[in-house]
Amino acid sequence: MDAGLDQRGYVGDRGRFAELRDAVRALIQAASEGGGYAPEARAIVNRASAAAPSWLELTDEPGIEEKTDPAGSAVDAELAAVARDAITLLAGERREALRACQAPACLQLFLKSHPRQEFCGPVCGNRARAARHYARHKGE
Ligand SMILES: [Zn+2]
C-alpha cells in the first residue's frame, strides 16, 4: 500500500475531509437513532475542531469577533469550521430533530421540520409512496 494513501485510498487532505465526513455522518446517524456517540468518531471531530487556527475575542460593544491566524493552514480552518458546526448541531436543541431519510436507498440525513416528517424531501416521499404502492399491488 502507498504510504500517502489512507485505508479508503484517499490521499492527504482529501483523506482528512473524508474521515471527518464519515465521523460526522456516524455521529448524526447515532443522534437520529437516539444512541450514544462512538468514541472514535467523537475524537475525529474534536481533533479537527481543536486544530482551528482561529479563536473568539470579546469586544467592548460587547460582542464577539472571530479572529483567524493568517499563518494558519486553510485546510485546518475548513475542517475545524465543519467540526464546529457539527458539534454545535450535535449538542444543541435541534439534536432531537436529526433523522435519517426513510426512503429506499436514500442515505440523506436531515433536520425534521414538522412532527411527522419521514423523508429528506418531497422527491423521496413520492418515491417511497410509489414503492409502497407497487409492493401492495405486485402480483394482482
Ligand atoms: Zn431521502
Query: For the chain, what are the domain ranges?
Result: 1-95, 101-140
Banded pLDDT at 2 (limits 50, 70, 90): very low
- From the list 64, 74, 81, 62, the residue with the least C-alpha distance to 24 is 81
87 pLDDT more than 60: yes
Distance CA 40, CA 54 (A): 24
6 vs 86 pLDDT, higher one: 86
**CA 88 / ligand 1 centre spacing (Å):** 23
What confidence score (pLDDT) does residue 10 get? 67
43, three cell numbers = 475524537
pTM of this structure: 0.77
Indicate the average pLDDT of the chain: 90
**What is the 8-class DSSP label of residue 101?**
-
**CA 134 / ligand 1 centre spacing (Å):** 18
What number is the average pLDDT over the span 29-35? 92
Banded pLDDT at 5 (limits 50, 70, 90): low
The residues with which 56 forms a beta bridge, in sequence order, are 66
**CA 101 / ligand 1 centre spacing (Å):** 5
35 vs 5 pLDDT, higher one: 35
Query: At a CB cut-off of 8 Å and minimum separation 6, what does 28 contact?
Result: 86, 89, 90, 98, 109
Beta carbons of 120 and 106 less than 8 angstroms apart: yes
Q: Cα-flanking dihedrals φ and ψ of residue 30, to 5°? A: -60, -40
Distance CA 7, CA 1 (A): 9
**CA 109 / ligand 1 centre spacing (Å):** 8
- From the list 11, 13, 4, the residue with the least C-alpha distance to 76 is 13
- At residue 109, the 3 state secondary structure works out as strand
